Amino acid sequence: MSTENVTIQKLGGQGDGIAQGADGPIYVPFTLPGETVAIARVKSQGTLMSITTASPDRQEPHCRHFGPHGVNGTCGGCTLQHYADAPYRAFKRQLVVDALRSKGLTPEVDDIVAAHPGERRRVVFAARKTEKEMLIGFNQAESHHIVAIEECPIASAGIMARLPAIKAIAAAMAINAEAFRISVLETLTGLDLAVDGIKSLSDKQRRSTVETVLSLRGIARVSLNGEILVEPAKPMIEFGGVQVAPPPGAFSQATKQAEDAMAEQVTAHVGKAKRIADLFAGSGTFSLRLARIGRVHAVESEDKPLAALDHAARNTQGRKPVTVERRDLFRRPLMAQELKVYDAVVFDPPRAGAEFQCKELARSQVKKIVAVSCNPVTLARDLALLVEGGYRITRVTPIDQFLWTSHVEVVAVLEK
């Protein structure tokens, strides 16, 4: 390990500062462009020791666990708390511009829809039982070390207020000193805890977990590896006025604010379409809103979210019909021939994007498409396929859902 002074030239895609060394780039977390810093270096990785010249864009972090000198270690949840709001938002918008440009696409990109502290309704905690205590927190970046948190400015007040309850449930379930994960979703009826990383519980532990949960307030459900252990109240979330009971551990957007911003763009562009396909539909984030406009065909590969969507659609009055289809769109995309019946298509795939589906869409005559993505790189690839097939990108909106990280959501609207 060597110690040296470097000047940070730019931020990388992960939010690390990048300095140019004699033998290539050096990546230094928690630094900003224009700063001169002293670092301890191992190969291409630098650890910030001190700042000689600070950027005018540097601000005080919002949380005591952030940065190289965080309490209990460096929490790996956030990477950009030290960046002032305006340049931080410009950086995230630029990630989208650069990804599109790399594929030869130069549409106008809107200002980013901002995220704010306390909005996260879905948080994944790391947990581990030590000889002394039950640790609940987040992993340090690139490490198995759990930073036990006392605060988290991104998480909702409802989740943070119940941190002692989450800790008590984790203690009842922990078998040994091995780490496990607790996905927490704040729902209308209480917290929904989905635990994985524990193989199985003894009968005694199951009883202890159930008793612990029933003695606490504000916990709707606890599940282990998809199996419900106890459910004092059915967890319910709302998609545009329709209540849905998601299955344990199902995907949901991390903040309601970002979800609403995405849904607003989706429904506005679909306009008056009579027949709509919603691909990678999940539990109905968009399908159940789109059913106000026209008939919806929702396609999803996982059966449990699809069943939740179907149940909600059947039990809601005043909407157009919603049909569902279980189908792996990576292996078996909707073909151009099948797409003929739709006026509009919405797709919101996982990070890998929807390459094969976009190849079929590009061959189709669907008038309107809305692409929703959590990965600007795969989105750019998919949009390039659609543009090649005769579509025009009319709007691109970045949405900040993961505050103080380099992750950015994007909604792109296209017309044939």
**DSSP letter assigned to residue 247:** P
Q: Provide the CA 239 distance to its chain's centre, in angstroms.
A: 17
Is residue 300 marked as binding? yes
184's tokens: 């927490």
Which residues does the annotation mark as catalytic?
374
> Are 336 and 385 in contact, with CB atoms under 8 Å apart?
no
Is residue 140 marked as binding? no
> Are 384 and 103 in contact, with CB atoms under 8 Å apart?
yes
Instruction: Look at residues 288, 285, 341, 276 and name the one whose alpha carbon lies nearest to residue 314.
Output: 288
First-to-final CA distance of the chain = 56
User: CA 55 to CA 57: how far, in whole Å?
Assistant: 5
Q: What DSSP assignment string belongs to 277-335?
A: EEES-TTTTTHHHHTTTSEEEEEES-HHHHHHHHHHHHT-SSS--EEEEE--TTTSPPP
Instruction: Look at residues 263, 264, 297 and name the one whose alpha carbon lies nearest to residue 281.
Output: 297
Residue 104 zone, left/alpha/beta (φ > 0; ψ -120 to 50; rest): left
C-alpha distances in angstroms, 109 versus 90, 96, 395? 11, 8, 7
Is residue 280 marked as binding? yes
Is residue 91 marked as binding? no
Residue 5: partners with Cβ closer than 8 Å, 6 or more residues away:
36, 37, 38, 39, 52
Q: How many CA atoms lie within 13 A of 106 on its CB side?
A: 1
Beta-strand relationship, 134-139 and 122-129: antiparallel
Which residues are part of a known binding site for S-adenosyl-L-methionine?
Answer: 253, 280, 300, 348
Which residues are part of a known binding site?
Answer: 253, 280, 300, 348
